[in-house]
Structure 1
């Protein structure tokens, strides 16, 4: 069997980390007697400059012809960020109705962090992925007059909250049973009280789940002060975006942060991406940490039912990172993108030979 993956290398360091990841995924699938079939797509900043759009009008249909999408990064200095982000990754999320963004945070042994007491941190942020402040609702009037007025409307609906909450509860059941809902319902009078009510209703259908509700500012402090008290977090689009970047520090930084955009129970391909962005300042220099992309690839394999291949990748990453010799500059080391990826690939091959 072939696993059909659409690959969007994108901009900046995206092509470098994607190129480093694909041989590892291919080797892990080989262990199961399966192959990786790649379709590379030239979507991103360069395409925008050439054709006026970061992806084609039929992008969603192109993606649907594959089992999954592996995405590198989007963004370049000569194109406004909103043009590329809305024209590619947010556009794909919305067109495919990818309801939730899964962001695991794991502190690997041997990886230095700027936060003390992170040993054993293993949490997952479930971020609602289609609504909140990221719908584009609102407008700008009186632009350029000195009286500019911008309105950004946050949209929260019961159906969307409910499906994100359902997935978070099921995930919590598979782990420790602890679920923390992150809101700001003490100051925002409509949207987040709705979150509180709907998530509480969903949690009542999952008696094994212990639900607590935490205000987002308190959660930001707790994430740094007591990260091991957390397991599964459920948050809105905006809060999930911010907190997951903060949580990445617990694992060593943005180079360690994978993600999956999925529609639980839906018949659409997920989009899997490292969340570190395009990092144009280091693009082409071999300095990018490919770990986030490698772990995003592991999520991709796992969601497609290739659990053993996914575990193989994660074990290889953990073993490799335990040796500081393989750390990239963001982790305080001197290894290049290809050095670290090659070491992970060797670990995958070695594990295959010993099993």
Structure 2
């Protein structure tokens, strides 16, 4: 029996993961679940955002459904004890270097997008973000300049094997979609990006069936709002991927609609699945959060970690039907509660 670790975390994390679990349970798939604290909730309970028992559960699980981390009461803690270190630590510990962030506009949400309906309706892409390198994991710190001023620094670095493994996943993903891959970098000014581009070009020799293009990140940000339909699979580094995927969420209607998967391989892996939104402490406990991103993350979990494609299709179709039928939480201009939105999805299963 496959076991799914539920790491609900902070803020709205417990609310949205609870609804995703309800949807999974409704499918009668003979799954088991385990729960453990993570993030600020774990710090308050154990003194650390990623305690040993949470790591143990994550390593034993067939897949992980993650909520969100972030707790304002922990903002003054040393960096290694802040809630956000939990997700970074899990990615590093489990070797989850490939972050899949699909973005598409569900029919009926055209008016929720920041773009014109005829442009927004063309969005159907995946941003593949490298997760375990770049400035988030490079050397960092605070120092004093010769003039006595404070100076912060963060080192951006990639080794060629780190680049090769993520772009290989990108090429493989493109083969499952429209056979188009766009690599995003800043090779005109960054040595890290020049290495990135060189390795992408080298790897492309093994994928002559994939149409490869390159784009600077500033142009990619512009093109994402000008003509998002031109993109299929986008592969990029940790920092650029973080920014572009959040931008894509608003093009697709709301950050509350976008799921993600963090993997070591294209499929058959005990990956980590989470909505791309944060913990949203300002609305936590109010029943206002949109659970769709968490529910769609659960669908990705079934597809990529458990090879249950038919069940994943059912969840995605139910979300699409609920949206098409007018189900809306506040972020989409509606009045449904978190539970009410999940009820609408369940009604269409």
Instruction: Answer yes or no: same fold by TM over 0.5.
Output: yes
The alignment of Structure 1 onto Structure 2 pairs a total of residues equal to 340
Q: Is the 8 A contact 2:36 2:57 kept in 1?
A: no
Work out the CA distance in 1 between the residues paired with 2:196 and 2:333.
41
* CA shift for structure 1 position 120: 3.3
Indicate the larger mover: 230-239 or 42-51: 42-51
Q: 1:65 to 1:202 in 2, by over 3 A?
A: same
Alignment match, 1:118: 120
Q: Deviations over 1:26-71 (max 9, x none)?
A: 223x2xxx31211011222122123320121364433121100100
3-state SS in 2 of match to 1:87: helix
The answer to whether residue 74 in structure 2 is matched with residue 79 in structure 1 is: yes
Task: Work out the CA distance in 2 between the residues paired with 1:234 and 1:60.
Answer: 28
Partner of 1:283: 284
Contact 1:100 1:261 in 2 (8 A): yes
Q: Distance in 1 between matches of 2:321 and 2:141?
A: 50
Q: Which runs of 5+ in 2 are unaligned?
A: none
For 1:49, the equivalent position in structure 2 comes to 44
2:251 aligns with 250
Alignment of 1:170-181 (within 5 A): 170-181=172-183
Cα displacement (A) at 1:121? 1.3
Higher mean C-alpha deviation, range 47-56 or range 110-119: 47-56
CA contact (8 A) 2:167 2:203 kept: yes
How far off its partner does 1:323 sit?
Answer: 2.1
Instruction: State how far apart, in whole Å, the 1-side matches of 2:71 and 2:266 are.
Output: 34
Tell me, yes or no, if the aligned pair for 2:71 and 2:83 is still in contact at 8 Å. no
Q: Which residue in the other structure is 2:165 paired with? A: 163
CA contact (8 A) 1:10 1:45 kept: yes
Residue pairs, 1:1-355, within 5 angstroms = 2-28=1-27, 30=28, 34-57=29-52, 59-80=54-75, 82=79, 83-111=81-109, 112-116=112-116, 117-142=119-144, 147-188=149-190, 190-264=191-265, 269-303=270-304, 304-324=306-326, 326-348=327-349
In structure 2, do the counterparts of structure 1 residues 340 and 199 end up closer, same or farther at CA, with 3 Å as the change threshold? same
Once residues 266 and 341 of structure 1 are traced to their aligned partners in structure 2, the CA distance between those partners, rounded to angstroms, is 27
Deviations 1:253-302 (A, max 9, x none): 11011111110069862110001100011111111000100111010000
CA, structure 1 residues 210+142, in 2 after alignment: closer, same or farther (shift >3 Å)? same
What's the offset of the Cα at 1:136?
4.2
Question: Is the 1:131–1:237 contact (alpha carbons within 8 Å) kept by the matching residues of 2?
Answer: yes
Separation of aligned partners in 2, 1:227 and 1:267? 30
Q: Secondary structure at the match of 1:94?
A: helix
* Shift of residue 217, structure 1, vs aligned partner: 0.2
The structural deviation recorded for 1:86 is: 4.3
- C-alpha deviation, 1:139, in angstroms: 2.1
Aligned equivalents of 1:181 and 1:292: distance in 2?
25
Q: 1:59, 1:92 within 8 Å by CA — same for their partners in 2?
A: no
Cα deviation, residue 80, structure 1: 1.8
Does the aligned pair in 2 maintain the 1:127–1:236 contact within 8 Å?
A: yes
Q: Which moved more, 1:305-314 or 1:16-25?
A: 16-25
CA distance in 2, matches of 1:23, 1:62: 20
* Distance change (3 Å), C-alpha of 1:266 and 1:250: closer
CA RMSD of aligned residues (A): 1.7
Q: 2:262, 2:201 → 1: CA distance?
A: 24
Structure 1 gaps of 5+ residues are: 349-355
